[in-house]
């Protein structure tokens, strides 16, 4: 791997991460995290492409970074309180065992 390839992998990661961050919005990880993981994923995927001889690795890096970021965003969990800063659909019920109020679980 040369410095030129690493530069192109980082550039691809920045572009793909930024596009993915703008498209996903507030549903997945933040824009900064998408850009960071885009760079990490592009370098890893590019390196894998170079090792297996899939072209020069740049095209494979571009194509494989999209599913990598998709997985990062899909498995990131948001709670309603984190996104909106308040509770929704939380009904307060009385807990007879501990004499405390607690939110009713939402199923």
Arithmetic mean of pLDDT over the chain: 79
Cβ partners under 8 Å of residue 33, min gap 6: 21, 72
pLDDT score of 36: 93
SS3 88: coil
Question: Structure pTM?
Answer: 0.67
Q: Does the pLDDT value for residue 98 go beyond 80?
A: no
For the chain, strand residue ranges (E) read 92-95, 100-103
Q: How many CA atoms lie within 13 A of 24 on its CB side?
A: 24
pLDDT of 28-79, one tens digit each?
Answer: 788 888 899 999 999 999 999 889 888 788 889 999 999 999 988 888 766 5
Q: How confident is the model at residue 97 (pLDDT cuts 50, 70, 90)?
A: low
Quote the pLDDT of residue 73: 85
List all residues 6 or more positions away from 92 whose beta carbon is below 8 Å from its beta carbon. 101, 102, 103, 104
């Amino acid at each position: 791997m040369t410095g030129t390839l690493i530069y192109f992998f980082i550039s691809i990661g920045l572009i793909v991460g930024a596009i993915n961050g703008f498209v996903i919005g507030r549903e997945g990880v933040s824009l900064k995290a998408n850009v960071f993981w885009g760079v990490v994923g592009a370098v890893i995927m590019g390196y894998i492409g170079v090792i297996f001889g899939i072209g020069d690795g740049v095209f494979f890096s571009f194509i494989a970074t999209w599913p990598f970021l998709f997985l990062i965003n899909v498995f990131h969990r948001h709670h309603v309180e984190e996104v909106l800063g308040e509770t929704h659909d939380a009904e307060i019920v009385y807990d007879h065992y501990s004499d405390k109020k607690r939110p009713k679980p939402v199923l």
